[in-house]
Structure 1
Amino acid sequence: MTGLLLSARDGGVLRLTLNDPLSRNSLSEAMMAALRASLAAAADDRNVRVIVLSGHGPVFCSGHNLKEISARRADPDRGAAYFAGLFESCAQLMLGIVNNPKPVIAEVAGLASAAGCQLVASCELAIAADTASFCTPGVNIGLFCSTPMVALSRSVSAKHAMEMLLTGDTFGAADACRMGLVNRVAPSNELSDTVSALAAKIASKSMVTVKTGKQAFYRQRDLPLAEAYAYAARVMTENLLQRDAEEGIAAFIAKRPPSWTDEP
């Protein structure tokens, strides 16, 4: 297997595989750039309907590349400008997942640590192998996982997030599922098939409907309750006027499969 980020298509499902096992699939500058570019291209590709993120080797993603970080302490500013740019780049990567019109599924076969855990938490869905594990261990090395905290605290309850962040402990797949960090746990030998089946099911839906729903989910979540209902009502009204909603309802009434246009 060659290439820092592997890309493979199966119908409407695009699989992006982190392929840098020597660095434990770290989010190096090059890896983040490759992920951002691939996610942006997928957003504009009408043939891509769902994105799967996976990792090659025993580690899904170990987080930021600490060797790259440490090397910049020799800069005149001790790396301050580099560090700021690095975390801005990481933020843009995570936003590239959340703002992508295509749903993104994390397929976690091994360890997801620090910003790797952030990567999982940023995806709409996550399926873990029973051998997978999760941690935000920055506190153990004097570096609180503040940026991973943003995604983590929006994915699990405050108490679960703080337990992970304050202890730096590693949690198994069953605990991650209990916390809500992952949707479900699959036997390691069934993980890819489980994710593929889930991705194919979502890929069979109207993409304009999925895009509408994904955008609305994130926007309403940060609104006060009354404003969220008002906003959602406007989205529902606009959605009902879309051709795929008209087709889907007609197909349901006629008891036939819908024929999606994927157009507004």
Structure 2
Amino acid sequence: MSLSHTMDDILLREESDGAVYLTLNRPDKFNTLSQAMLIALQRELDTLAGDPAVRCVVIAGKGRGFCAGHDLREMRANPDKAYYQELFRSCSRVMQSIVALPVPVIARVQGMATAAGCQLVASCDLAIAGRSASFAVSGINVGLFCSTPAVALSRSISPKRAFDMLVSGNFIDADTAFDWGLLSAVTDDDNLDAAVADKVDQILGKSPAAVRFGKSMFHSQRQMVLADAYDYAGNVMAENMMSPDAGEGIDAFLGKRRPVWEQPGQ
């Protein structure tokens, strides 16, 4: 596994066999999304989007918590509407870049994920948390409704549950977050890394082409009416069928052997 650093080490990057691990590295600040952190994340996401060798991305947080949202101290030091508008635009772009990334993104969650940190979890394709993790969109407690986190949260859990979290600021535990659909899996805290590694291995074991076809299709069709979604999905599936991996996979299934997938970027 290779290791690189970005933006004065506030964001760490590791990569291994097509999987890239981005770790928020402000543990003393509970990995808050400062301007510098958002810039570093955007830079990495833009780079990853254009790299055909990347097959999966994991976003993690260093220390006791995953991410406590925006840096409130930094925000109060810049009491200017234009500054706030640009800050929230930058954060929204990061979240949309995660959704638009052509490969699956997994949130590895320990400790607390609050406000924009909870938004980050909701924006990832998959989210695996340790059982002691907790989640909240608690801006309301300091007089600030978590409007941008509401966008991602309301697309992950039911509207009434999302609004309850947003208007109360209450925390939910990992088992509740899983039951509500914010998480794809919950595991014992000491098994978190193994659970994430197992999911990464599952993704890496699939056809890279099929996974890329699938992620793009999945998110795009959710914005469409039913008939348009089926028309779009059928066209994507036909295109996927024309890929070498689909032919190889079907031939391998019929021949009772393991498929050998094309490895892009190698």
Question: What does residue range 244-263 of structure 1 map to in structure 2 within 5 Å?
Answer: 244-262=245-263
1:92 paired residue number:
93
CA distance in 2: counterparts of 1:195 and 1:64, whole angstroms: 25
Q: Is the 8 A contact 1:15 1:53 kept in 2?
A: yes
Question: 1:262, CA displacement in angstroms?
Answer: 4.7
What are the Cα deviations for residues 149-176 of structure 1, in whole angstroms up to 9, with x where unaligned?
0000111111111111111001110110
Q: Is the 8 A contact 2:21 2:57 kept in 1?
A: yes
CA distance in 2: counterparts of 1:104 and 1:173, whole angstroms: 19
Question: 1:135, CA displacement in angstroms?
Answer: 0.2
SS of residue in 1 equivalent to 2:102 = coil
Query: Structure 1 segments of 4 or more deviating over 4 A?
Result: none
CA distance in 2: counterparts of 1:42 and 1:227, whole angstroms: 30
Question: 1:102, CA displacement in angstroms?
Answer: 1.4
1:35 paired residue number:
41
1:44 correspondence with 2:50: yes
SS of residue in 2 equivalent to 1:15 = strand
1:67 correspondence with 2:73: yes
AA of the residue aligned to 1:247: E
2:167 paired residue number:
166
SS of residue in 2 equivalent to 1:59 = coil
1:140 paired residue number:
141
SS of residue in 2 equivalent to 1:258 = coil
1:128 paired residue number:
129
Question: 1:45, CA displacement in angstroms?
Answer: 2.6
Where do 5+ consecutive residues of structure 1 fail to align? Answer: 74-78
Q: Is the 8 A contact 1:244 1:262 kept in 2?
A: no
Question: 1:46, CA displacement in angstroms?
Answer: 3.1
Q: Is the 8 A contact 1:62 1:116 kept in 2?
A: yes
CA distance in 1: counterparts of 2:206 and 2:263, whole angstroms: 9
| TM-score, normalised by the number of residues in structure 2 | 0.94
AA of the residue aligned to 1:118: Q
| TM-score, normalised by the number of residues in structure 1 | 0.95
What are the Cα deviations for residues 85-131 of structure 1, in whole angstroms up to 9, with x where unaligned?
00110011011100001110000011000000000000000001011
Question: 1:207, CA displacement in angstroms?
Answer: 1.4
Where do 5+ consecutive residues of structure 2 fail to align? Answer: none
Question: 1:254, CA displacement in angstroms?
Answer: 0.7
CA distance in 1: counterparts of 2:159 and 2:47, whole angstroms: 34
AA of the residue aligned to 2:22: L
AA of the residue aligned to 2:36: A
1:76 paired residue number:
none
What are the Cα deviations for residues 205-245 of structure 1, in whole angstroms up to 9, with x where unaligned?
11111111111111110111111111111111111111111
